[in-house]
Amino acid sequence: MNTGFYSAYAGFAARMDELEVVANNLANVNTAGFKSQREFYRSFAASLNEQNSMPAMMTVSQAVGRAANQFGVLGGTRMDLSEGTLEVTNNDTDVALEGSGFFAVLTKSGVRYTRNGGFHLDQSRNLVTQQGDPVLSEQPDRRPQPIQVPTGTVTISPDGSVSVSGALVAKLRVEDFPPNTPLQQEGGTYVTAPDGAGRPATNTTVRQGALETSNSDAIRSTVTLIDLQRTSQIMEKALSIFHNEFNKSAAQDLPRI
């Protein structure tokens, strides 16, 4: 079979996958603490490197054909952990992080992490996220402990200590992760991490009365969407040409057999 057909199809499918990534980035331009995803592709050279794992009896032409068929495949996405800008809100329960790290929160699925510090107090005066999930306090044994805030003036210091009218209540659980930790996005601003991967953040400052903006660039995402649309149209046209050639070959050659 013609490897060009598969290459064109792989390119088209990859652009459709990338479209979902870019559309999600664009949809979360105004989501506090959102970390955009950056896509990457498998290159022809990278595919050729896999020949070492191919069957020993595979011919050179088969190996090249296999590599060509993998050209243009979306290899995956990486989370862009660059910081957004700080936006002052003057809300006592809004907090932002300067430096690396994430707030730990407790969801129905377990502990999750977020840079969105748009917290508020629920009816029981528990500090919760916009989704209503409890914000966790730092504990020596790392057990999930929600933060309950008594009545009074709330003060959150740069090290994450939460005080009410001068009395210490708790300390925000802010965790950092080693480089290359496989963080996975879950929903708009939640992030999952392998169990035990997090460590107390040491180079992070908590800012009360502020929120971190999304690091998703609206202009970049819009330009990428336009480019994807044009590239997809080219790939679609190539597929149509290959399809017509296959039909032509079938109509002309098969009756001769």
Give yes or no: residues 62 and 76 share one domain. yes
Pair 174, 161: CB distance under 8 Å:
no
Give yes or no: residues 56 and 133 share one domain. no
Give yes or no: residues 44 and 162 share one domain. no
Give yes or no: residues 205 and 157 share one domain. yes
Residue 3: pLDDT band by 50, 70, 90 thresholds?
low
Pair 211, 118: CB distance under 8 Å:
yes
Give yes or no: residues 76 and 105 share one domain. no
pLDDT digits 0-9 by tens, 43-86? 444 444 544 554 555 544 444 445 444 455 555 677 888 999 99
pLDDT digits 0-9 by tens, 130-165? 999 999 999 998 899 999 999 999 999 999 999 999
Give yes or no: residues 183 and 220 share one domain. no
Give yes or no: residues 222 and 204 share one domain. no
Find the mean pLDDT for residues 99-104. 95
Find the mean pLDDT for residues 3-24. 69
Give yes or no: residues 178 and 224 share one domain. no
244: exposed, middle or buried (Cβ count in 10 Å: 0-12, 13-18, 19+): exposed
CA triplet 193, 196, 202: central angle to 5 degrees?
85
Find the mean pLDDT for residues 32-45. 70
Give yes or no: residues 208 and 226 share one domain. no
Percent of residues, the chain, with pLDDT higher than 90:
48
Containing domain of residue 180, as a range?
86-212
Give yes or no: residues 185 and 90 share one domain. yes
Q: According to the model, what pLDDT value does residue 221 have?
A: 81
Give yes or no: residues 196 and 227 share one domain. no
Give yes or no: residues 150 and 176 share one domain. yes
Domain count, the chain: 2
